[in-house]
């Protein structure tokens, strides 16, 4: 699902982020989980995945 959302030319980056964030929260992800993912992305040099590109 994430690939389809991110690669859909009719969905801008901001809207895609809101869609994915909303879905993640349905599964119980919290801000702490997002912070951990951002930190891991920085450690691995993958800042695009963390939304900081």
Percent of the chain with pLDDT over 90: 26
Asked whether residue 30 is domain-assigned, the answer is: yes
The total number of structural domains in the chain stands at 1
Q: What is the pLDDT of residue 2?
A: 84
Residue 53 lies in a domain: no
Residue 51 lies in a domain: no
Separation of alpha carbons 46 and 39, rounded Å: 10
Q: Give the domain range for residue 8.
A: 2-43
In this predicted model, what pLDDT tens digit does every residue of 10-28 receive, in sequence order? 999 899 989 988 888 899 9
Query: Residue 11 has what DSSP assignment?
Result: S
Give me the numbers of helices (H) and strands (E) for the chain, helices first please.
3, 0
d(CA 30, CA 52): 18
- Alpha-carbon span 9 to 21, nearest angstrom: 19
pLDDT score at 50? 47
Diameter of the chain measured on Cα atoms: 32
């Amino acid at each position: 699902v994430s690939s389809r959302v991110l690669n859909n030319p009719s969905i801008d980056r901001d809207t895609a982020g809101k869609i994915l964030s909303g879905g993640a929260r349905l599964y119980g992800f919290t801000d702490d989980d997002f912070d951990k993912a951002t930190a891991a992305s920085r450690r691995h040099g993958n800042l695009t995945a963390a939304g900081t590109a």
